[in-house]
């Protein structure tokens, strides 16, 4: 199963999205997808250990570095990392939910899926969407 929740339900309204692996490189989807989300009313919290700001937004080095008051607002963690890194990111998402009560959804980008991460998230009661792009889903929703 690629998802425990319908991506269209998640994308239906602007949300607060932490983007793990957000990029400073305008050639990468990890740059253009957060840019698109910002332009469509989403609040984006970039996660990148080597940047200070992306799209004029403060960057945090990791999910655990997001202050609790900010972490409490995160509804979706959108992951732009190789699928081999998903289990570690999933563990960080579980820890974040334990301390802040959120996020609600782990989102793995198009072409990326990891069974171990799915297990970690399922045990913690966190929904996931794998092998799907938030921008594509948002555009699809707009086309209806």
Any idea where the domains of the chain sit in the sequence? 7-142
Give tens-digit pLDDT for 66-85: 999 999 999 999 999 999 99
Q: What is the mean pLDDT of residues 6-12?
A: 87
Tell me if the pTM is above 0.85. Answer: yes
CATH superfamily assigned to domain 7-142: NAD(P)-binding Rossmann-like Domain (3.40.50.720)
pLDDT, residue 144, reads: 46
Rounded mean pLDDT of the chain?
A: 94
Distance CA 80, CA 68 (A): 22
Question: Which residues have CB under 8 Å from 135's CB, separation 6+?
Answer: 32, 33, 36, 37
pLDDT higher than 60, residue 143? no
For the chain, count helices (H), then strands (E): 6, 7
* DSSP per-residue letters across 20-45: ET--S-TTSHHHHHHHHHHHTT-EEE
15: Cβ contacts below 8 Å, ≥ 6 apart: 42, 43, 75, 76
Six token digits for residue 110: 């198009």
């Amino acid at each position: 199963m690629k998802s425990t929740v319908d991506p269209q339900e998640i994308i239906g309204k602007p949300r607060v999205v932490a983007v793990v692996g957000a990029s400073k490189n305008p050639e990468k989807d990890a740059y253009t997808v957060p840019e698109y989300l910002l332009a469509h009313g989403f609040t984006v919290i970039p996660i990148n250990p080597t940047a200070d700001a992306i799209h004029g937004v403060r960057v945090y080095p990791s999910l655990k570095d997001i202050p609790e008051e900010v972490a409490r607002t995160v509804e979706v963690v959108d992951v732009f990392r190789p699928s081999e890194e998903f289990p570690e990111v999933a563990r960080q998402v579980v820890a974040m939910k334990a301390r802040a009560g959120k996020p609600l959804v782990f989102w793995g980008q198009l072409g990326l899926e990891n069974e171990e991460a799915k297990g970690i998230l399922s045990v913690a009661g966190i929904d996931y969407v794998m092998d799907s792009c938030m921008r594509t889903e948002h555009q699809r929703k707009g086309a209806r």
